Amino acid sequence: MRTIAVVGASLAGLHAARTLRAEGFEGQLVMVGEECARPYDRPPLSKQFLSKGWTAEQVALEDAQAPLQAEWRLGCRATGLDLGRRELALDSGERLGFDGLVIATGTAVRRLPLNAVPGTHVVRTLEDATALAAALDAQPERVAVVGGGFIGLEVAASCRERGLAVTLIEPAAVPLGRVLGAAMGGAITALHTARGVDCRTGVSVLGHEVDARGRISALRLSDGSRVAASVVVVAIGVVPATDWLEGSGLRLDDGVLCDETCLAAPGVVAAGDVARWHNRRTGETRRVEHWDNAVRQGRHAARRLLDADGSRTAPFEVLPWFWSDQYDRKIQLYGSALAHDEVRVVQGSAEDGRFMALYRRGDRLCAVLCVNMARALPPLRSLLETGCAFDDAVASARAVAA
């Protein structure tokens, strides 16, 4: 290959590019990124960037001592893909030819009509987080967070750590219930309630009010209540950024559908939040929106791209792992808790906010949740990776030093 284009200059794209160079690719490497900013780490944006005053330099991903040898096209959006001609269409009107392509465009935030109202924010980009931090610096009387997923809860925690009043609005009966189950989602919600967050669950936003300046002033909820807030953060999830690929011939189904090795088409791979593939390890065909997956899948996809016939590339099989920092709690989930049959607390207490819980699917261990028990997680990871029977995992977990 003479030219490889990487569309998406964030975590997955950056690690794919680094791997391409590390694996010996010496041709032209073009990084196409919609944002003007150099690659940066997103997880701190809803946490340390808001609560501890981190700067753009502190979330930078590039290594100044080992710069990537690439041509950077930042502030440049891909608008189309012609697989037959091996060309990308860019919003500048340019047509960029390639021999190999890495798709790592990630996701875009879901929005509500009220997102058009001044004072309403999302948290996805560095620009988003910078604008929200400035709004919080103005000490609003109340912040309303719409959405009780991990981003929404992290923003709520960051605002409380600033001493701000916060109302959390979540349509589901239990925040994180779909991801962690009702019991564990309830335990995380209780942590926020204990820290002073006004948690409104089972309700949605029906409308909003503005002040004399046209800025957001209140939200009207489905239960008839009203929440006065001069800053609103909408955190209702994301969608894969695949609109630019419509009509390209790639299979699009909640992301870019790949084979088990991350190949989407000959000479085209996908990685990170935008990639949907069958993971033999979990038995699921899905996207994984986690930092660790973006890093590992970016590397794997790069190696697959350089392996023309796929003979040297194994399927991409990983157990998902993610963490979330909320207040003084580090929440970690290893494995997949989706469609679990049982969750059992085996160490500590959910009421005390320091515990380990195991998830069962069938008769096997499928996931481990640790809250402020990070040292207890590594031994359980090996049990997950070997497909341990649930009863054996429970016995082993209870013997692990916390």
Show the domains of the chain with their CATH numbers.
3-108+239-306 (3.50.50.60), 111-234 (3.50.50.60), 328-399 (3.30.390.30)
**Which residues partner with 334 through β-bridges?**
321, 368
Amino acid residing at 230: S
Where b means 16+ CB within 10 Å and e means fewer, 159-185 reads bbbbebbbbbbbbbebbbbebbbeebb
CB 93 within 8 A of CB 76: no
Q: What integer pLDDT is reported at residue 277 of this predicted model? A: 98
H helices present in 83-199, as ranges: 126-137, 150-161, 177-180, 182-194
Q: What integer pLDDT is reported at residue 402 of this predicted model? A: 61
Instruction: Confirm whether pTM is higher than 0.75.
Output: yes
Ranges of residues in the chain with a pLDDT under 70 are: 401-402
Cα 194 to Cα 262: distance, rounded to the nearest angstrom = 43
**Which residues partner with 121 through β-bridges?**
233
What 3-state DSSP class applies to 99?
coil
Token pair of 353, please? 């906010």
**Which residues partner with 90 through β-bridges?**
78
Where b means 16+ CB within 10 Å and e means fewer, 308-342 reads eeeeebeebebbbbbbbbbbeeebbbbbbbbebee
CB 363 within 8 A of CB 393: no
Q: What integer pLDDT is reported at residue 382 of this predicted model? A: 86
Alpha carbon distances (Å) from 52 to 137, 369, 398: 12, 26, 36
Which of 19, 5, 14 has its CA nearest to residue 37? 14
Cα 199 to Cα 145: distance, rounded to the nearest angstrom = 10
At 32-81, the pLDDT tens digits run 999 999 999 999 999 999 999 999 999 999 987 788 999 999 999 999 99
Cα 386 to Cα 16: distance, rounded to the nearest angstrom = 28
Token pair of 373, please? 């028990």
Is residue 318 left, alpha or beta, with left meaning phi > 0 and alpha meaning psi from -120 to 50? beta
- Do the strands 216-221 and 256-257 form a parallel or antiparallel pair, or are they unpaired? unpaired
Where b means 16+ CB within 10 Å and e means fewer, 187-200 reads bbbebbeebebebb
In degrees and rounded to multiples of 5, residue 52 shows phi and psi of: -120, 5
Cα 268 to Cα 249: distance, rounded to the nearest angstrom = 12
Cα 371 to Cα 308: distance, rounded to the nearest angstrom = 43
